[in-house]
Amino acid sequence: MFVGGTFEPTPSTAWVDAAYTNFLQPLGMTVGDGASNICDMTGTAVCDAPLQVLTTPELLEEGPSTLATSQDIVSAVEAEYAAGDMSATDPLTIFTYSQSAMALSHAEAELMAAGIPQADLHLVMIGDGNTEAGVAPNIYNDLVTLFGGGTTGTNDTNALLYFVNEGQFAPAGTEYEGHLLNGAGTLNSVTPDNLYPTTIYTINTDGIADWQQDWNAAMAADNGNAWDALGSSVYHFLTTHIEYLGLTPAEVAAGTLTVDGLTTTDLIPDPTDWSSAWVTGLADIASSGGFLNSILESLQDIFNPAWG
């Protein structure tokens, strides 16, 4: 099952091909080549091909959209399980990128509570914002630092997250002027390493999955200037984070593996010729079904939020 990132509500054939060739084949998945092996799911219903594409919101309002995607993933997995299409000998692999990786991270506890067996799932994430160094567990404290620290920095951070409806990345119970931030504490944790077998691919300096390492390096290089650290992380979000689907299998294989519990993390060096990976990755992102519509919906959402 393939789930796209922000502005990628329905991953295209090119997107799925790149994900399958560069990341899943090296893990041992073999289903053959060609578009006939790819199908688009109707809602969260199972479709009849080995490579299934799940359509999800993937809007710029990251927190609420991520939670909606998480529920779509849970519903789709429950449908697969009820249909008998997954087992310990033939586990369902879920491939996610960026926003959907955070959604899958959030969905894990609900899937376990729903009785989905550990051996029946294999999770694969690229550009996961919920790694230990990812943006999701760290952005709140970094914003507090950016806005001057202490009470002032905390109040300004709470106000910002309240007004942009991204309270999901604040600690549980966080308030602004007596109002509880929407979803506070739901998306600021680290991807579990004890629920399901998981493989996480991170490109070194990725501005989402390696956010904190990049932030800390920039702070150290520029005498603690948090605005420069923010600029560096955003730059690597717009560059390195886009490269995943443009990598070659050899570049992916050059990564360094670490294992924590059920999670294997592959830290991939940023390619020397990163521009080639970036162009290819961006093309695959832009080819996704609903790409332009998701941008328009995100712009509309600024003035008329889809979620309260």
Mean pLDDT over the full length of the chain = 92
pLDDT reported for residue 301 = 67
Q: Does residue 217 fall inside a structural domain?
A: no
Q: Does residue 219 fall inside a structural domain?
A: no
Q: Does residue 14 fall inside a structural domain?
A: yes
Q: Residue range 52-65: average pLDDT?
A: 90
Q: Is 233 a residue whose pLDDT tops 80?
A: yes
Q: Which domain holds residue 10?
A: 2-129+190-199+240-265+273-303
Q: Does residue 91 fall inside a structural domain?
A: yes
Q: Does residue 165 fall inside a structural domain?
A: no
Q: What is the chain written as a DSSP string?
A: -EE--TT-SB--HHHHHHHIIIIIGGGT----SSGGGEEE-STT---SSSEEE------SSHHHHHHHHHHHHHHHHHHHHHTT---SSSPEEEEEETHHHHHHHHHHHHHHHTT--GGGEEEEEES-TTSTTSHHHHHHHHHHHHTTSHHHHHHHHHHHHHHTT-GGGSPTT-EETTEEPTTTTSS-SPPPSSSS-EEEEEETT-TTTTHHHHHHHHHHHTTT-HHHHHHHHHHHHHTGGG-GGG--HHHHHTSEEEEETTEEEEEEPPPTTHHHHHHHHHHHHHTSBTHHHHHHHHHHHHHS-S--
Q: Does residue 249 fall inside a structural domain?
A: yes
Q: What is the pLDDT of residues 247-295, one digit of tens each?
A: 999 999 999 999 999 999 999 999 888 999 999 999 988 887 677 777 7
Q: Is 46 a residue whose pLDDT tops 90?
A: no
pLDDT reported for residue 284 = 84
pLDDT reported for residue 146 = 97
Domain count for the chain: 1
pLDDT reported for residue 297 = 74
